[in-house]
Each structure stands twice: as C-alpha cells, then as structure tokens.
Chain A
Amino acid sequence: MSPHPPAADPAAPRPGLLDGLDVRPSQVWGAVRLVPLVRPEPVTDLRLHPRVYGGPGLVDLGGGHAYASYIPHGLVAEWTPDGTPAAAYGTQLAEDRTRRHPDTGRTGGRARPDQPVAAMQLHFHRRTARREAKHRVRFLPLHLALEGYLALHFGGPVIAWEEWSQQALRQGLSPRAEAAYLGTDVPGLADALSVFEIHPGQCGVLVYLADTLAAAFVVPHPEDYRTLHPTLVQDLYGDLVHHYATLMPPVPDFTARIADGPSVRSLAGLRAAVREQAAQWAEFHGTTLAAGLLDQPRTWQRVRRMDRFTLSRLLPPFRPREANHIGEAITDEHGRTVYLKTFRLPEAQVRRGHLLDRLAAHDWHLAATAAGLGTTAAQFALRLESAGFGHLLRQDVLDHYRSSHRS
C-alpha cells in the first residue's frame, strides 16, 4: 500500500471490512479464540497512541448533552498530510509524550493528570472525537460506536402522537443508560491475551468467545498493535459475551489435517499440502467464523475527515436474534480499513435498537409500527415497556394496554 495512491473511483464498491489483512491461524485459550490479522505492508502515515485515563469519565457531547462512563484510555491518531511516515514517538505511553508536548495536556480545559492514579478520579472529555492539533485527533475507543448506539433516535417522537408521555416529547430518550462488562471481568480473556503470541507484522485481532465474534480490532501499524494489545482487556464487552465466556467449555483448536493422499509422495508434495491448509483456514474463517461481521449490512456515519483518512462509525441493521456489531473505523481514501474496533451488541440492546428503528420508520406511530411488526398496539406497547422504554408512553395509555392485554 503506497502512501498516496491516486484517488479511488467513487462508484467503485466499498472494499470488505478486512480487505488487505491476511488471516493467520487462531490461538485458543479456554473459551477464547484469538485470530491474528497481518498486514503485508504497514500503514506508516497514520499512527495511534494510547492515552491512559484509568477511571470513570464524563464526556461532553456538545449541545448540552453529556454522558458518564468508564473510560480506561483514549487513542490519539496522528497522521501526516503528505504521506510521509508519522512521527516515531508513536508508540510510547502517554506519560512520556505529554512531557514532550505539554500543550496536549489540556484536553478538557482542565488539568489532566499525566499518570493513572489510584484514587477514583473523574476525567472530563470534550466530545468523543476531538481535534487536538492540526494533525492529531484524540478519540475514546468504542465510545464513538457506543455514542452512536446510545444517541440512536435520541430526540424521541417526531410527531406528538397522543400515546407518548410529556417526558418523551420534551426530553426524548434522555436519560439513556446501557451496561457492559469490562474485559478484565470476562473470564479467561486476560489470560488468553497474555499468552497470545503476536505474529510478525500483526496489525489486528478478532476476539471470539465460545466461537462467536466478540470484538474486532485493527490498527495501522504493527508497533501500534504491540502497544495496544493489552488494552483489549480494558475494553467493553456485552453481557452475552460475558455469559458465553463464563459458561462455555474450552473450544477446540482447528488443528491442521493433511490427507494421506497420493500427492504426498515427497517433501515438496508435503509442502504444497501445508500451503493448501493455510488457504483453507483463511477461507473457512472468512466465510464461516467471521461471517457475522463481514456480511452484516451496515450504515457508515462519517465523524471526521483527517486528510486522506476518514473516521466513521458503523451501525448494524438491528435485526433481532442475529449478531449485531456496532463499531468505529478509520478508512483510507480507497475505503480500506486502517483502524477498526467493534462491539457485539447483546440481544437486549439489539432489541432496543430494533424497536427504536421500527418506531422511527413509522414516524413514531404506535399502531402503524405494531402493524408493521405484525402485532397489536397493546402487545407492542408491552414490548416497549419490557425493553425499558415504558416511561415514553403515557401512564394511563400504558395501564389501558396492560388491562386490555390481561383480559
């Protein structure tokens, strides 16, 4: 991948999410399977560094919106406009760099301690993605994706149908809360990451728990990956992933098998069979294991342009009872993935997203949405309530539906 290839034809189809990355054999530890992704040629003009926050934080989204969350670290993306390799101070930990660049120490207009501290401390972040200098953007990994999910149809009903409560009409979905597990709480994940053997040139990993894809992580450069590999335990994982990790027995290795065929008559024949094995695994992985993520139709929302790179967020179609991955990505001008981080939504959260999507599609008309879903308005109202959106409906309307359902 040369630093500045000619601009892509806009009509060309978007390349696949993991194009340009080679799949290597997985490494299994308990119920965790890690599939390394190797970039034949690293991207040198965009580099990521971690910045350690280590605690709960409050993110100001602008426009009077804010949210509180556990934010273990931020990422700093740095690029060069002319495609020359980005500054090599790339993969140092944030403490050193801040000392050299004191101007970056004031992210929120407030003093930010340079080191993670033992005491509980609240960090203030302005926006999930924020430009810090001309060629540097700080963003909170996964939060970009989560913000997209949390802010889904955040404004509430667009037409004031009589069923909606005053709160829904005035404040929309606010306050909206979702929960996830920290990677350190997912059994076996920390061990799996610590005994994982990083491949030369590795720029990414797919994390499977009980052979369902929990997260995908891709960075531009192998050195960035080496630095950011341990941050995977500080990421968020849905409760589905946590349950799988807790309850599943160890998954089997996909061990290599060479048939005793007539072709294996010499060492050269054996070597060819070995190469075939590697190709088989890559194909099996692409078409079977990772199919949930790769084949999922998704919506791209552009967040920020960074010269030839684009930071965007990915939203799934919110289909219930399917794997739905939200995520964020940096792509180059050809649409190839340079950075990627995804989060598998648990079923309950998919359902909430699905309900909101359906409501929005029918202009928040209760009966029409219910008809679209093939149920009655009463049943749909109760579904809304069990999904945690009961407060959006007027109390007397909800009571009416409840009693009519009971009778």
Chain B
Amino acid sequence: MNTESFGDLIAADDVLLFVNAAITSTGQREFRSDAATQQLSLDFLHAYLLGNYRDLYAGVLALDINDHNAVLVIRGLLESAADATPGQRRREGRLIAGRLALLPPQRVYGLFRSLRRAAVNNRRTRALIRDWLAARPDLAFDAVKYRSGLKQTLRHAHLTPGHPELGTFLFAPLSRARYDTPILESWRRAHYEQAAVYDLPYTVAEGFAARHGIPRSVFLERIAPRLTRQETLRLQETAQRHGPAADRAVRADLSRMPLTRLAGYVLSLPAAERSDRRAELTDALHRAAVRVAGAHRGTWGRVTAVLDDSFSSYGSGAKRRRPLAVALACHHLLAALAAQYTGLWTSGRTDALLAHPVGPTPLGERILDALDTGPERLLIVSDGWDNAPPGLAGEVLRIWRTRLDPDRRTSVVHLNPVYDAADFDVRRLAPSVPTAGIRDAEDLPALVEIAQFAEGRTGLAELRAYLDARAARLPHPRVPAARAEGAPQ
C-alpha cells in the first residue's frame, strides 16, 4: 500500500463511491430527494467515471450494480467507443456482452432504443446487437412481446432476422393469411378470436382483452398459466378483488419468489392479513433466505443486525417501502447465515413480519443494544439519517472502535439502501465503519466483501484484482467472445 500513489487512493475511492451509487440509485424519487435530483447526480457520476477511469468504469459492469445503471454504463461505453484503445475495446466488448446476457430483455430493448435515439451505430454496437439477438431463445416470442423494441433494433442495426416469417410479421403483419409459427399465428388470430388471446404473453393479451371486452375476472382466470413469476406476484390483490375463481388461478407460489421481492410483497399487505397468514409468509421468507444463503448457511457465527424501520424507510411513491423491504429481507437472510442471530429494529418492535415505517431513527441507542449482545459481526441496514439524536451512531461506533474494541473482535458493516444525491454517495455513519450500498438483500454476502474496500485499508491494485475476478464470473454468451468485439482493429 505504501507503493501506491495518492492518485491511486483517490481512484479507488472514486470507484467505490460510484459502485455504491450504481447499486442503490435508480434515478427514481427517494424519501429525501426527487427523481430529477437523483438523475442529475447520477449522470454526473457516470460522466466523471467515464472520463477519468474508463477501465474501472467498464469493470464495474461485473459487480451487482442495478439494471438501470448497467444500461447507463453500457450506453456510455458504446457512445464513446472512439476514445478507447483496441485493447480496451476488446475487454469492454466481453464485459458488455456478459452483462447484456444478464439484463432482462425489456431493459436491453430499451437500451437499443436509446442508442438509436442517440444515433450510436458503430460496428461494435451492431455486432453486440447481432450477437445478443442470436442468443435470444425465441425471437418469435420477442417479436410478439417486445414488438416495437425488436422492430426498431432490427432497423437500427440493419439486420435481417434469421427467422423466415419474422420480417413480414414485424414490418407488414397483416399481409399474410396465416403464419406457421404458433405464437405469430395466435397473435394474428387474437384479432378476431377470443380463445387465441390466452396463448399470448400477458402484456400483449391485456390489449386484446380490452379490445374484445373480455371481463377482467374471466381474463385473469384464463391468462394465469401465461403469467411470469413477477406478474403473478403483482396481480395477487387484483385477482382477489375479482372473485374466487380468478384468485385461485392467479395464486403465486411464494416459496419460489426471490427474497427481496417477496419481502416487498409481504410489506404491501395490510397488517391484519400479515398476521392471518403469518405461518405461510414467514415460511416463504425463510425458504427464500435459505436458498440465497446456500452453502454459507450457519457459517457467520454470532450476528446482530440493526434494522431501520423509521418513517424514512417508506422510500417514496416510486420505490414504495423499498428500504424497509431490504431490511426485512436482510433480517431473514442473516438469520439463515448466522449460527446465532439477533435482529433489532430501530422502532424497538420485535415482530419483523409486522414491520411498518414509522417513527424517528435512534440508531445510536440501537447500536448500543446490539453491541450488548456481544456479536462477532454487527450489520446495520439503514439509510444513515441518524436523527435521534443526530450523529450519535457515529460517536458510539467511534468510541467502540477506539476505546472498547481496538482489536476489532467485532466486525461492523453498514449497508445503505438509499443513494444520497447531494453527497454523490450513500450516507455514512462513521469513518471507521465501512459502508456499502445495497439494492437486493441477495447481494449481501458480496457487498460485505466490497465494504472491506471502503474501509480505506485496501488499495487500487486489490480493487482491480477484485473487479477482474468478478468479471471472470460473468456469464459467457453462447456466441464466441471474439465476435462480440466487433470494432475494427
């Protein structure tokens, strides 16, 4: 570390700051800042990183940054392809292709659309689009579900779809009397025949159902098999309102839901329903947590968590109860990871299932309570607005580190689900405590790893090594990586 220059330390610091921002911020409204502020702040960070640390900026794609920021990074890299050296382009090409394979298709089509709007059409972009489309499992399905997205993408990249009927379907759909591909044929028939509507993806079928005037309850009941996992989760309450038949058909299998989504769903239910379905919901959360913990289950020793359920954990209308959902998910995940676990909510409540965003944030007191339990690991999940009294958490942690536990027997990590737009970072509690942004509780083990960098004890070289290791773990698209580079050498 002594060999590192001052500039390297700043670089490591900047990158960690960007990683925190890219994990937490989605450019949506937060409790304390509006969408425009978040976007402005985030755009600045992207421009700053791209201009100063292009390699590291691309390397961040391998981390658990959220989809919104992954798209922004990819776009930034493709827009400024001319500034990159051939070596950089090769590496970036691999990273972009690897990340595109992870992104949900609607995000990718959105990205292609924004590239078209920004008039980015270099050879590398076209090659990436071509390879991504070639790797799609069912292009005919995409043509129905993401119709305009695929159409614009093909047009922008000057590609001929490999599928014989797709060209006609996208550009002159009603010119054919019938299609041989079943889903395309269903789409054609759905214009005239109600039964064919139920062979289409839910989002497309919804439009046809409206056109045919199909009652919502009937529609929900019959479309149920075509719903994706998240659509099912989203439609639970709607189906309940539309009678028992629809409710039975659209019944989410909660035990298979991802942890944070599930926590968000649980928190969306009224308290009375949560206590009625206590066994079912707790069990589902527990299973999801155990699934995430995997082989690490029970290996973390004595863990105590301080979880923020103050009023600000409501988030905003755009990210409803997100911080609280993350805290609830962490609560269950840590219970699975730890051998012995204590979860302390800032409001002092003990029933995690009935968590509700209310009251101030007395983090300092709660951290004291947590340290009383003598944990090996202390995790704090909070937006960092310690206000009862302000700054007490920082003081308690400082005294703990300097006077009461100088040998670091207890490791303390603060995970923050909220991006503070004014500070270009997540809010920290104390300089001695590493802070990492968190979006999904599923990433918690990896984030605790990153947080160690934030303590300032590791330098740029280690950070680079870590990024490379993570890049190696990215999925390799089915097409050979050499083709994905695309750009002329």
Contact = CB atoms under 8 A, between A and B. Distances in A.
Nearest to B311: A197
B402 interface: yes
A255 B360 contact: no
Contacts of A24: 360, 388
B368 A271 contact: yes
Interface string B340-365: 00000001000000000011110011
A197 B310 contact: yes
Interface string A263-284: 0111100110010011001000
Question: Which of A25, A198, A199, A255 is the most central at the interface, judged by chain B CB atoms within 10 Å of its CB?
Answer: A25
30 contacts: A25-B360, A25-B387, A27-B360, A195-B31, A195-B32, A197-B310, A197-B311, A197-B359, A197-B360, A197-B361, A197-B388, A198-B311, A198-B358, A199-B359, A199-B388, A253-B390, A255-B391, A255-B395, A256-B390, A256-B392, A258-B395, A267-B371, A267-B404, A270-B368, A270-B396, A270-B399, A270-B400, A274-B368, A277-B389, A277-B392
B403 interface: yes
Contacts, number: 83
A110 B391 CA distance: 54
A383 to B, nearest CB: 45
Contact of A256 (B347, B359, B368, B389): B389
Contact of B399 (A195, A199, A258): A258
B392 A274 contact: yes
Of the listed residues B365, B368, B399, the one surrounded by the most CB atoms of chain A closer than 10 A to its CB is: B399
B310 A256 contact: no
A254 interface: yes
Among the interface residues A199, A256, A260, A274, which one has the most CB atoms of the partner chain B within 10 A? A256
Contact of B359 (A28, A198, A254): A198
A270 B392 CA distance: 11
A260 B402 contact: yes
B365 A274 contact: yes
A11 to B, nearest CB: 39
Interface of B: 31-32, 310-312, 347, 358-361, 364-365, 368, 371-372, 387-392, 394-396, 399-400, 402-404
A309 B189 CA distance: 76
Interface string A12-42: 0000000000001111100000001000000
A101 interface: no
Contacts of A25: 360, 387-390
A197 B312 contact: yes
A406 interface: no
A253 B399 CA distance: 20
Contacts of B395: 255-258
Nearest to A277: B389
B121 to A, nearest CB: 43
Select the residue from B387, B389, B399 with max chain A CB neighbours within 10 A: B389
Interface string A192-209: 000101111000000000
Contact of A265 (B31, B365, B371, B403): B403
Given A254-B389, A267-B372, 5 more contacts: A197-B310, A255-B390, A255-B395, A256-B390, A266-B404
B399 A260 contact: yes
Given A24-B388, A198-B359, A200-B359, A256 B364 contact: yes
A281 B389 contact: yes
A264 B403 CA distance: 8
A258 B249 CA distance: 59
A260 B400 CA distance: 11
